[in-house]
Structure 1
Amino acid sequence: MLRKTILVRSLTLAFGAAAVLPAMAQQAAPAEPVQKVVVTGSLISRADKETASPVQTLSADDLAKTGMTSVAEVLSNLSANGQGTLGTGFAGAFANGASGVSLRGLTVGLTLVLIDGHRMAPYPLSDDGQRQFVDVSSIPFDAVERIEVLKDGASALYGSDAVAGVVNIILKKSFKGFALKTDAGKSQHGGGNNYKVALTGGVGDLESDGYNAFLSAEYRHADAIKVSDRSEYEWANGDWRSRGGINTTRGVPSPANNFLTAASSPFFYNPAGPRLPGGSAADNPANYQFLDTNCNFAKYRAGGCAVDDIWSNIQPESHNLNVLGSFTKKLGNDWTLNLKGSVFKRQSVNNRGWPGTFSASSFLGNTSLVPGQNPQIVNVYGSTLFPAGRQGNNLGAPARLYGYIPGLNASATNDNSSTSTRFAAEVTGAALGWDVTAAIGHAKVKTESEYTGYVNRVALYQALNRATNPFNPLGGNSPEDMAAIQPSFGNTSESKLTFFDFVAQRELMQLQGGPLAMGWGISWKKKEQNAPSPSLLAEGIVGNGAAYVFGKETNTAAFAELNAMPIKDLELVAAARYDHYDTYGNSFTPSAKFKWKAHPMATLRGTFARGFRAPNSAEVGSASSFFSFHAINDPILCADGNPTTRGNVPTACQMTPAFVQVTTKDLEPEKSKSYTLGLVLEPVKNVSATLDYYSIEVKNQINTAAGLPGFVPSYVRNAIFPVEIANGDGTTTSGLPPVGTIAYATSGYVNTGATKTSGVELNLSTKQKFGEYGTGKAELTFNHMISYEIDSNGTKYELAGTHGPSAISGNTGNPKNRAQLVLGWEKGPATITTTFNWVGKFSALDPSIDVNDCANAVDVSSRTYFFGKDTPAAYCTIRSFTSTDLNMTYKVTPNLTLKASILNLFDRQPPIDVATYGNANAMTSYNASLHQAGAIGRFFSIGANYTF
């Protein structure tokens, strides 16, 4: 009998008595033949799947038991997925519609995603216009055999961008027979209905027939979930008055909009009209003329002319059509050929704003971003005041027109269609005593976007001011006018990757403890990115220029790995890689690992690795983009930050300036060092535990200069036109400011600073048989971040458990703790799996942008919830969030299996997050990257799987 140790007692508490039931009473199962596999993060095949590096494996069965229907949903719940993760819930993202993984919180650009161990072309629209990543939302769920997540730096074997780890999505290699899978789901609170159909058919047995061929097709559709579907909840409601703030609902006048805003009915306003005693012109009903009877001054000021949000999405409508074909043939003499071809197509409709409004006092133009030209302010119209008598202005003085432009088809919308095409050929065999794998392939991701809802404001005001038959603010305008004012346009972006890999491995000799094995290889890849800005945006006709990227790079590399067992139970691994990039030069990255089985129940392991990320086309090619992050005060027009100070321009206080990101040609690669030290424990049969410490430091990081402390921008200003200027008594007067308002500033990329993150990850698992009562399983994965420190221009900031670094890696939140607990029960044909996904609490502050006080927490997001007031202390912390998913399957016959799932079983709502900018256009206050399950709410689905 084994003596109960402290560890065993701990496991007993974690998993119940099942963890320590006498497994010795069970009869030993017949020994199975030992099979060797190549685990992600190694070149050498092995029988022991527990490597020196921490690797998490999700089988196809594990994926199915989550109750989810997409790879992106499953990966978003990884405990190692953190700050900078990209989900499909954030429709305003540069890479809208796509989804990426950010292991260890080091952004999607430092996590390498492979398919079948080989590289995939990145999504052509980079995250934040900078970081390249593979869109995991396009990968078919039912074609996946398993997913291996390597939580360790792996540049020594895979090269650039494997700094934080590797996600290797391994597709099915063979299939015989026919399978039909169907799923349908519905949200309890409306919207989001989905259904999926997957068909797979294959012929041939590789062992008996010498070949296998199969074809798999999958179609998935999901309806949109609108903000209006969740308007009864606080996090989806813009009225903050009961919470110490203001009413931010569209169409409601408030101090944040100087009590002048486009409402449900258009109206004229005389800015030079008489002021009421102690008030402003905006308080005097005599200065208003409403153009229809649906609204009047009293109703407007009371918030009765608000505009319902029927456009903004919590989840976009999407369609996925995926086809995968595979042919495997034994060639003789232990050589095998595998050919794979796939087309994965995802279409989503991403709302990026609201229907257009009339420009209040002036239209100062747009900023164009035409490749090969400096940014320019174009299409300036000037004052948009309407003289007395024009357009029915009966106020007797020049007046502004407030309202939504009638007849627009929709809000600003991007109908995004992404097609990922991939062909790969792989041959494996043996030659001259070496096991050999050679692969060649080509992948292309083409994204086609159709834009609607954008407004050509010059055409609009030309039509409004025509002498005859002018544009009518109440609607009923000609199709010709609407086509000119709201043109439809589009563009196509492409990303291509061509690769060749060759790897050989063999055992060189027997040492005292086991074999000395070697693996080596060479690789070549060429990457191209061709992502133009849509023409009307590039030229500044319908808005500020959109991001564009043009560039290519070629990488040639040689690499090797040596695995030795010098004494019994000790495994030593060394690896190194030499890369040559035609864009900057050479990189050398070594790594070393060990695994020591110190006791039959305890194994010690550790790794050291160097890594790098090469500058990409968005950073050193021909590229540009717009971005903004936190609010500032115009140094001239609002120097003291007080919107009521005499002479200040209120709209220049706490404004969010636009920056035009430009490339820098002489950037160096980012470089990293990472360490892990872990313990693998197996105290009793069918109980295992791993505890791994990790530390990753990335130096020479490529960041926008504007995000660094001490950066002094040089602002480009608009022409001088009339604006509201403070009188010093709370009122304003229309006048000419001393300088024009800020249009934009430019910012290049720089190599500066560092990020260092460390933490521990715990994995506990057990599987116990209870005779006639079935078999129970439990697995807990827990990640605790000890530190997340950035060094920016010599200033260090500790950001673990905060919202930072919001200006560098996306404003997605940086919680210290994440965990996932999976409990399963199998008895006969029935299986029940319950998954608990937990995200710990974190702060709304971001010290890296000098937001250290709860009173200023909303400055991180530049929201106006508490305009003119301190943020209440209750909103300084984003509370923890747990979603519970229940999945049940029942095998009716050997061929037919039924399933039912309830996601977010307890209908937990997402916590309020006033610091996030996710879904900013919708004015929701939840974190779409971490708490999307709460926004969707309780979700029911049923499905069936039939095979023969």
Structure 2
Amino acid sequence: MKSIPLAVAHILATGALTALATHTAQAQDAAGDNQEIKRVVVTGSYISRADQETPSPVQVMTAADLKKSGYTTVSEALRDITANGQGTLSQGFNGAFAAGASGVSLRGLTVGATLVLIDGHRMAPYPLSDDGQRPFVDITSIPMEAVERIEILKDGASAVYGSDAIAGVVNVILKKSFQGTSVTAETGTTQHGGGATHHLGLMHGFDLSDNTNGYVALEYRQQDQILLNQRDGAWTRMDWSADPGGRDLRPGARNSIISNPVTRTPYLQDPALGSTAGAYAFLDNGCDFARRNANQCVFTNTWSQLQPTSENLDLLASLTSRLNNDWTLGLKASYFDSKSQQTIRPSSVPVGSFAGVTAIGPYREPAIVGVIDPGAYTVPASYPGNPFGHAVNIRAIVPDSPFRRTDVDTKSYRAVADLNGTVAGWDVAASLGLTRVETNSTYRGYINPTALLQALNNTANPLKLTGGNSADVMALVTPTVSSKATDELNFIELRASRELAKLDGGPLSLGTGLTFVHKSLNAPDPVEAQNGTVNGLPSAYAIGKENNAALYAELAAPVLKSLELDAAVRADHYDTYGHSYTPKVGFKFTPSSMFSLRGTASRGFRAPSATENGVAGSLFAFNTIRDPILCPVSNPDGSPNTDSPQNVPAQCELSPTYLQTTNKNLQPEKSKSYTLGVIIEPIKNWSTTLDYYKITVDNQIISMSALASFDPLQFATRGGPETVTYGDGSTGTSSVGTIQYISTPYVNGQTTSTAGAEFESRYRFKLNDVSKMTVGLQWSHMFNYNMTLNGKTYNLAGTHGPAIVSGDTGNPKDRAQFTLSYDQGPLTISATTNYISGFDVTDPSNGLTDCDSSLQANNSRWKAGQSPSQYCKVASFTYTNLSMSYQFNKAWTLNGAITNLFDKAPPIDAQTYGGTGINGSSNGTGLAYNPSLHQTGAVGRFYSVGLNYKF
């Protein structure tokens, strides 16, 4: 690798000398060549070529393919591509750090390893990183009407594009020009209620002169939410008590975990009277002690969303001008506004005590604030309806605040100028881009615990638990909280390419370029999270800047008519850590027109992001520990001894807050990528490709807490000595303070290697003079997905691992897509069938090696040791989308679609925590389906119809 800078210099020097020596010969050849071959630039290379089948596997989705998918958004269409795997991000996961966004995870290597480009250029990432760590481009905001095609490069491309292209590239290519005016109106709805979608599109193209064309595209899309209570079926279950050891998780239900559930009827409880009927006082007639115990006070879940409310407004302006015969100027400016509204369970009033809020924010030490001592979170004896004559506990939903809601409004700004021309035989391109993404989040229904306690104990006008409180009081108890996060990415690119010499198979071509990219992320958490006044707000922040300068070069050498050799190399410099060098080589051997053999080998890297080496932090829950100082004595079997006079029982089974911190000494993740495949074209219009891939990522950046050597006590931050209660009931001042939080920095400590095969076959044939058929099949199979951690390798292919990544999406081995399209004159009918294989619920990388421990890890549906075996596997999922278009004349076209034609329900996934939350903070249980893989099943059959008018 040390020789790579010399290799770059050698390629450039050789190219310059060769160009000088062959300049005259090329001029003579050009004069005698009367046949112009159309050449294109394919994603993964900046050298134009005649053959779109390059040494690298590239999947192309045209605008027509997007329409035939039956979907109305780019994110929905990309969700179904077979190369999208573990770690994909869906808007359906309302507990995500990156709420409101969607991302693609090629090869299952997370959204952070997939580079998303627009017109071959970088775009500013979503300001809220996946899992608080991985930056990615939000594909939710990309308008569908302006897309010309999407090219998906399925091998490593760091040598050409740099960081983030470890798993591949998704290049969204927008229309370069447009003539006339096009108006599109579409509407649709689900069969089972909710999810009504309305879509309007307008494109107008114009000529300012013979050499200048421009267009403006305006698109609006509005989608209603789908609520859990609008669906039924096994996957929507909340009452699992019919299973042996199962629990009733309906709101207001009593089970083996929750003995005093919160019902719609608020009630008071005197803990001194135990659990007898006399210990409770219900504040209205909606429930009583006997009915509560019989689970007759359960109430409807009216907040859990299967699909959030969303709204998109997109404006794109494009201008292309031919300055002369050699130079073209392209200008694009866009404004994308994406809004979504996500809800979770209403807040409950704390019972007896409150553990406080860990205040966290930039440039400050975390601290636990707002602790309400045991017994202090009560209503006084004078509270209306309190018959006990002294302060008692409360069981109630915070009144007049139906649910916690987050409104996310993301505005994306992009302005790019491209200048293309020729200078002394070189094809030259210069680009300047300014991009910015701004996410404004508004949180409603989250409580200020201190203000709530004060309002409950206000003797003159106490907060009414039965509702009917003034807006002024509720503004203090559940204040509206806002935050703003921005991410900017600006770039300058200079590229040049030319033919150096004529080889037997065609021109030897050199491409080279310089790029400079500046990134700036400013994503603080809300002020109320920084000072700890409001509970439950997002507890992650990231601030940082980065400059990246790079030089790259590539050669395309068709040494024979049957053999093409490609090579590329790139040198990057980052001001945050230093240098990276990445080479790539490829070949394509075509012994006959019907058969080609191709392959690539490359190295790649992912630079540490601002969330990993900037000013950043996030809170998370992790292992329960014993504090050996405040709980020095344990039982002989190692279990906590809560009776010892030397022990503080609360510190014997401690669940401290963990603070994820950054590390300035991080090195980039490094990858090795290999592909080997064949292209078979036995007859005209029938093409088949089969490619093997293997990608290994070393030096992966993970939390130090994942290492076996991690000792949390070495990273513990304590408060000052305080009054504590010991196991024998005595009190005293502790020798040290209790653990406030445990820091865990990022480290380079993991390796992931995945291998598999990609198959694609497409055949277009005529049925008669007026009709034709297109048949296509894409299939991705994963041989292995090996994660090496702490010196041990785990194969996670076909399991739920790694469960800690991106909402626990699961890792199926197979995905397939079968397409069938029929055209007869003005009529086109298309069907697309998608298949996702089943997988088991275990995650060996997280110590979850059996079904029961896996199902217990992320939910509380069953008692430990009693998880039913039928839920140990997540079943396969197959669904079909049908679309139709009929062109009445040159002006009018009718479109229609039915997604999930056969109304297939999603399979039960009882392990994932990425499903819609049903119990919020009460026990963290999520709905038993997987939105990242099976969202189409949750939506159900969806009908849409639209009209397009062109003039």
Both structures adopt the same fold (TM-score exceeding 0.5): yes
Q: 2:545 aligned with 1:552, yes or no?
A: yes
Q: 2:468 aligned with 1:466, yes or no?
A: no
Q: 2:106 aligned with 1:103, yes or no?
A: yes
Question: Is the Cα–Cα contact under 8 Å of residues 786 and 800 in structure 1 kept in the other structure?
Answer: yes
Q: Percent identity?
A: 46
- In the alignment, residue 76 of structure 1 is paired with which amino acid? R
Alpha-carbon distance in structure 1 between the residues aligned to 2:99 and 2:311: 14
**In structure 1, what is the equivalent of residue 372 of structure 2?**
381
Question: Is the Cα–Cα contact under 8 Å of residues 648 and 724 in structure 2 kept in the other structure?
Answer: no
Distance 1:940 1:794, change over 3 A: same
Alpha-carbon distance in structure 1 between the residues aligned to 2:877 and 2:722: 49
- In the alignment, residue 815 of structure 2 is paired with which amino acid? R
1:461 to partner: Cα distance: 0.5
1:746 to partner: Cα distance: 2.4
Distance 1:736 1:823, change over 3 A: farther
Which SS does the other structure have where 2:193 is aligned? Answer: coil
Aligned counterpart in structure 2 of residue 856 of structure 1, from 853, 856, 868: 853
1:642 to partner: Cα distance: 8.6
- In the alignment, residue 255 of structure 1 is paired with which amino acid? S
**In structure 1, what is the equivalent of residue 909 of structure 2?**
913
1:34 to partner: Cα distance: 3.6
**In structure 2, what is the equivalent of residue 757 of structure 1?**
754
- In the alignment, residue 260 of structure 1 is paired with which amino acid? N
**In structure 1, what is the equivalent of residue 521 of structure 2?**
529
Q: 2:775 aligned with 1:784, yes or no?
A: no
Question: Is the Cα–Cα contact under 8 Å of residues 612 and 669 in structure 1 kept in the other structure?
Answer: yes
Query: Residues 50-449 of structure 1 correspond to what in structure 2 (within 5 A)?
Result: 50-204=53-207, 209-230=210-231, 232-244=232-244, 245-257=246-258, 259-273=259-273, 281-282=274-275, 284-351=276-343, 353-382=344-373, 383-386=376-379, 388=381, 390-395=383-388, 398-408=391-401, 410-449=402-441
- In the alignment, residue 52 of structure 2 is paired with which amino acid? K
Question: Is the Cα–Cα contact under 8 Å of residues 626 and 661 in structure 1 kept in the other structure?
Answer: yes
Q: Tell me the alpha carbon deviations over residues 268-292 of structure 1, each in whole angstroms, 9 at most, x when there is no partner.
A: 122222xxxxxxx33x222211111
Question: Is the Cα–Cα contact under 8 Å of residues 495 and 513 in structure 2 kept in the other structure?
Answer: yes
**In structure 2, what is the equivalent of residue 486 of structure 1?**
478
- In the alignment, residue 229 of structure 2 is paired with which amino acid? S
Which SS does the other structure have where 2:41 is aligned? Answer: coil
Alpha-carbon distance in structure 2 between the residues aligned to 1:82 and 1:759: 12
**In structure 2, what is the equivalent of residue 17 of structure 1?**
none
Q: 2:869 aligned with 1:873, yes or no?
A: yes
Question: Is the Cα–Cα contact under 8 Å of residues 176 and 205 in structure 1 kept in the other structure?
Answer: no
Question: Is the Cα–Cα contact under 8 Å of residues 361 and 722 in structure 1 kept in the other structure?
Answer: no
Q: Tell me the alpha carbon deviations over residues 128-179 of structure 1, each in whole angstroms, 9 at most, x when there is no partner.
A: 1110000000000000000000000000000001000000000000001000
Question: Is the Cα–Cα contact under 8 Å of residues 192 and 223 in structure 1 kept in the other structure?
Answer: yes
Which SS does the other structure have where 2:476 is aligned? Answer: helix
1:796 to partner: Cα distance: 1.1
1:772 to partner: Cα distance: 4.6
Question: Is the Cα–Cα contact under 8 Å of residues 201 and 214 in structure 1 kept in the other structure?
Answer: yes
**In structure 2, what is the equivalent of residue 832 of structure 1?**
829
- In the alignment, residue 839 of structure 1 is paired with which amino acid? I
Alpha-carbon distance in structure 1 between the residues aligned to 2:704 and 2:391: 43
- In the alignment, residue 225 of structure 2 is paired with which amino acid? A
1:660 to partner: Cα distance: 1.8
Question: Is the Cα–Cα contact under 8 Å of residues 851 and 859 in structure 1 kept in the other structure?
Answer: no
Alpha-carbon distance in structure 2 between the residues aligned to 1:169 and 1:757: 25
Alpha-carbon distance in structure 1 between the residues aligned to 2:901 and 2:649: 47
Distance 1:653 1:236, change over 3 A: farther
**In structure 2, what is the equivalent of residue 794 of structure 1?**
791
Alpha-carbon distance in structure 1 between the residues aligned to 2:283 and 2:317: 61
Q: Tell me the alpha carbon deviations over residues 733-760 of structure 1, each in whole angstroms, 9 at most, x when there is no partner.
A: 9999999998643221011120000000
- In the alignment, residue 671 of structure 2 is paired with which amino acid? S
Question: Is the Cα–Cα contact under 8 Å of residues 367 and 740 in structure 2 kept in the other structure?
Answer: no
**In structure 2, what is the equivalent of residue 664 of structure 1?**
663
Distance 1:220 1:654, change over 3 A: farther
Q: Tell me the alpha carbon deviations over residues 224-256 of structure 1, each in whole angstroms, 9 at most, x when there is no partner.
A: 1111111x2222221011233110112111111
**In structure 1, what is the equivalent of residue 566 of structure 2?**
573
Which SS does the other structure have where 1:606 is aligned? Answer: strand
Aligned counterpart in structure 1 of residue 49 of structure 2, from 46, 49, 54: 46
Alpha-carbon distance in structure 1 between the residues aligned to 2:902 and 2:654: 40
Alpha-carbon distance in structure 2 between the residues aligned to 1:724 and 1:295: 39
Distance 1:651 1:879, change over 3 A: farther
Question: Is the Cα–Cα contact under 8 Å of residues 96 and 807 in structure 2 kept in the other structure?
Answer: no
Q: Tell me the alpha carbon deviations over residues 73-128 of structure 1, each in whole angstroms, 9 at most, x when there is no partner.
A: 01111100011100111111011010111000001111000000000000111111
Question: Is the Cα–Cα contact under 8 Å of residues 521 and 559 in structure 1 kept in the other structure?
Answer: yes
Alpha-carbon distance in structure 2 between the residues aligned to 1:480 and 1:119: 47
1:707 to partner: Cα distance: 3.0
Q: Tell me the alpha carbon deviations over residues 443-473 of structure 1, each in whole angstroms, 9 at most, x when there is no partner.
A: 0001111111110010111111123222222
Alpha-carbon distance in structure 2 between the residues aligned to 1:675 and 1:915: 33
1:366 to partner: Cα distance: 0.3
Alpha-carbon distance in structure 1 between the residues aligned to 2:419 and 2:887: 37
Distance 1:581 1:896, change over 3 A: same
Which SS does the other structure have where 1:242 is aligned? Answer: coil
Alpha-carbon distance in structure 2 between the residues aligned to 1:817 and 1:657: 39
- In the alignment, residue 278 of structure 2 is paired with which amino acid? A
1:512 to partner: Cα distance: 2.4
Distance 1:530 1:591, change over 3 A: same
Normalised by the length of structure 1, the TM-score is: 0.90
Alpha-carbon distance in structure 2 between the residues aligned to 1:835 and 1:52: 28
1:548 to partner: Cα distance: 1.1
Normalised by the length of structure 2, the TM-score is: 0.90
Alpha-carbon distance in structure 2 between the residues aligned to 1:97 and 1:469: 39
Question: Is the Cα–Cα contact under 8 Å of residues 438 and 486 in structure 2 kept in the other structure?
Answer: yes
Question: Is the Cα–Cα contact under 8 Å of residues 723 and 736 in structure 1 kept in the other structure?
Answer: yes
Alpha-carbon distance in structure 1 between the residues aligned to 2:243 and 2:850: 19
Q: Tell me the alpha carbon deviations over residues 627-671 of structure 1, each in whole angstroms, 9 at most, x when there is no partner.
A: 346x75767899989999989999999997642211111110100
**In structure 2, what is the equivalent of residue 695 of structure 1?**
694
Distance 1:723 1:595, change over 3 A: farther
Which SS does the other structure have where 1:137 is aligned? Answer: coil
1:393 to partner: Cα distance: 2.5
1:880 to partner: Cα distance: 0.3
Q: Which runs of 5+ in 2 are unaligned?
A: 1-33, 919-925
Question: Is the Cα–Cα contact under 8 Å of residues 97 and 130 in structure 2 kept in the other structure?
Answer: yes
1:878 to partner: Cα distance: 0.4
Distance 1:641 1:398, change over 3 A: farther
Question: Is the Cα–Cα contact under 8 Å of residues 111 and 162 in structure 1 kept in the other structure?
Answer: yes
1:566 to partner: Cα distance: 1.6
Alpha-carbon distance in structure 2 between the residues aligned to 1:487 and 1:431: 62
- In the alignment, residue 749 of structure 1 is paired with which amino acid? Y
777-786 or 536-545: which moved more? Answer: 536-545
Alpha-carbon distance in structure 1 between the residues aligned to 2:45 and 2:583: 13
384-393 or 212-221: which moved more? Answer: 384-393
Question: Is the Cα–Cα contact under 8 Å of residues 161 and 612 in structure 1 kept in the other structure?
Answer: yes
- In the alignment, residue 891 of structure 1 is paired with which amino acid? Q
- In the alignment, residue 372 of structure 1 is paired with which amino acid? Y
Alpha-carbon distance in structure 1 between the residues aligned to 2:251 and 2:682: 60
- In the alignment, residue 257 of structure 2 is paired with which amino acid? A
- In the alignment, residue 252 of structure 1 is paired with which amino acid? A
Question: Is the Cα–Cα contact under 8 Å of residues 428 and 438 in structure 1 kept in the other structure?
Answer: yes
**In structure 2, what is the equivalent of residue 925 of structure 1?**
928
Which SS does the other structure have where 2:213 is aligned? Answer: strand
Alpha-carbon distance in structure 1 between the residues aligned to 2:532 and 2:308: 27
